[in-house]
């Protein structure tokens, strides 16, 4: 199947709006990990103990849909965040994340990240803005998917 746009591979993974100091601090906080194809990175309903930024490859976010089938709702690709539940108090994963190809990610361990954010308001707000942008983009995609579902309901 086709490769992804080479453009996206050259995307600066952190938002350009982010202050260099904050960016540097993030890179230092993160730990680069690689997930061979098939690795289950997070499990639906399980603990979500880290936030990840994909630098290469793809993680499919899957859910059990009625009927027990495992459906991919959306994929997180290069430059996408996953596991943002890690920033929430109960830190429970709402979907499973599976690396569908060999994947590299910059991973932020929950405890470390929250401590760092507690210690550094600038960092905290930058991260929150970053995550919020990612959530907003995801919601937009979901909205379009829903509209499409309803529209297709009209078709014979």
Partner 1 sequence: MTSPRAQPGFLPRAEFGRLFAALEADGRRIIGPTVAEEAIVYDELHDPAQLPVGMTVETAPGAYRLVPSGRDRAFDYAVGPTSWKRFTHPPLVPLTVSRRDGAGVDVQATAPSAPRLAFLGVRACELQALAIQDRAMRAGPLGDVDHAARRDASLVVAMECAVAAETCFCTSMGTGPEVASGADLVLSELDDGFVVRAASHAGEAILGQLGLAPAAAEQTNAAAEQAREVRRTMGDPVPTVGLPERLRASLDHPRWDVVAERCLACANCTLVCPTCFCTSVSVASDLDGVTGTTERSWDSCFSLGFGRVAGDANFRPKVKDRYRQWLTHKFSTWWDQFGSSGCVGCGRCIAWCPVGIDIREELLVIAPPGVEPGPAPWPAAPMGGRAPDPLPAVLPARHVTVRVGDVVHETADTVSLSLATDDRTLLGAQPGQFVMAELPAFAIPPISISRIRPDGLDLTIRSAGAATAALVALHARDTLSLRGPYGRGWPVGEAAGRDVVIVAGGIGLAPLRPLVDAVLADRPRFGAVRMFLGARTPRDRLFVAEMNALAGRADLEVSEIVDRAGPEWLGRVGVVTQLFDRATWDGSRATAFMCGPERMMQAAAAVLARNGVAPDRTWVTLERNMACGVGTCGHCQVGPFFVCRDGPVFSLAELGSAFGREGL
Residue whose entry in the numeric block shows the structure tokens 């009927």:
67
Question: Per CB under 8 A, does 156 bind partner 1?
Answer: yes
For residue 153, what are its two tokens?
């309901």
- Please state the closest distance from residue 79 (CB atom) to partner 1, in A: 6
Among 6, 17, 68, 90, binds partner 1 (CB under 8 A): 6
Among candidates 108, 85, 77, which has minimal Cα distance to 9? 77
For residue 30, what are its two tokens?
């993160």
Contact call for residues 46 and 94 (beta carbons, < 8 A): no
Among 33, 43, 56, 75, binds partner 1 (CB under 8 A): 75
- Please state the closest distance from residue 75 (CB atom) to partner 1, in A: 5
Among 79, 104, 116, 131, binds partner 1 (CB under 8 A): 79
Question: Per CB under 8 A, does 47 bind partner 1?
Answer: no
Question: Per CB under 8 A, does 30 bind partner 1?
Answer: no
Question: Per CB under 8 A, does 8 bind partner 1?
Answer: yes
53/117 with CB nearer partner 1: 53
Residue 40: in which H helix or E strand, if any? strand 40-42
8/111 with CB nearer partner 1: 8
- Which string of DSSP letters, residue by residue, matches 58-123? EEEEEEEPTTS-EEEEEEEETT-EE-GGGGSSS-B-SSEEEESS-EEEEEEEHHHHHHHHHH-HHH
Q: Where on the chain is the footprint of partner 1 (CB under 8 A)?
A: 1-8, 10-11, 58, 60, 62, 69-75, 77, 79, 98, 100-101, 137, 140-141, 144-145, 147-148, 151-152, 154-156
């Amino acid at each position: 199947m086709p490769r992804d746009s080479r453009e996206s591979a050259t995307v600066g993974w952190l938002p350009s709006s982010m202050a260099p100091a904050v960016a540097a601090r993030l890179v230092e906080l993160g730990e680069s990990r690689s997930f061979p194809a098939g690795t289950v990175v997070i499990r639906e309903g399980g603990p979500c103990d880290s936030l990840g930024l994909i630098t290469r490859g793809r993680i499919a976010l899957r859910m059990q849909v009625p009927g027990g089938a495992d459906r991919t709702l959306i994929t997180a690709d290069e430059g996408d965040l996953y596991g943002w539940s890690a920033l929430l108090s109960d830190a429970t994963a709402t979907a499973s994340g599976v690396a569908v190809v060999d994947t590299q990610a910059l991973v932020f361990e929950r405890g470390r990240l929250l401590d760092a954010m507690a210690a550094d308001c600038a960092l905290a707000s930058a991260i929150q803005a970053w995550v919020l942008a990612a959530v907003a983009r995801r919601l937009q995609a979901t909205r379009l998917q829903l509209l499409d579902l309803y529209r297709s309901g009209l078709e014979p």
